[in-house]
Amino acid sequence: MTKKSPSLTASCPCGGAAYAHCCGRWHEGPLAMQAPTAEALMRSRYSAFVLDKLPYLLASWHPSTRPVSLEPNPPDLKWLGLAIKQARDQDADHATVEFVARSRQAGRAHRLHEVSRFVREDGRWYYVDGDLH
């Protein structure tokens, strides 16, 4: 299930520009799946989690570590924001992004702090896996 995409002028869930000019362009349309950097892919994946864009999340996950399926967000989960702590290229085709994603569920605050690994294959970035902190 996918939540309705934000309006063209609504702020992007990742905290960037208007959704259509930020993560929305990587989610659908002529630039779909073409995030130019690992950080852009990380931001687009966070926005996809917020918006329950499960097909995008699966397609942007590297086949070697991709789960068979994903579940939509529970109804009481509210994503509150994303902070990119560090984005680092290891070489032209490997990168890491450290981030903190904040959420609230059942009245309790949560933080997801991860260093994610990304790989670029055939010009396209994929999420591989990550270490939780």
Note the pTM of the prediction, 2 decimals. Answer: 0.94
19-132: what CATH class?
alpha beta
Give me the tens of pLDDT residue by residue for the chain, a chain 133 residues long.
456 677 767 999 999 899 999 999 999 999 999 999 999 999 999 999 999 999 999 999 999 999 999 999 999 999 999 999 999 999 999 999 999 999 999 999 999 999 999 999 999 999 999 999 9
What are the residue boundaries of the structural domains of the chain, listed by start? 19-132
DSSP string for residues in the chain: --PPPPPTTSBPTTSSSBGGGTTHHHHSSTTTT--SSHHHHHHHHHHHHHTT-HHHHHHTB-TTT--S--PPPPTTEEEEEEEEEEEEEEETTEEEEEEEEEEEETTEEEEEEEEEEEEEETTEEEEEEEEE-
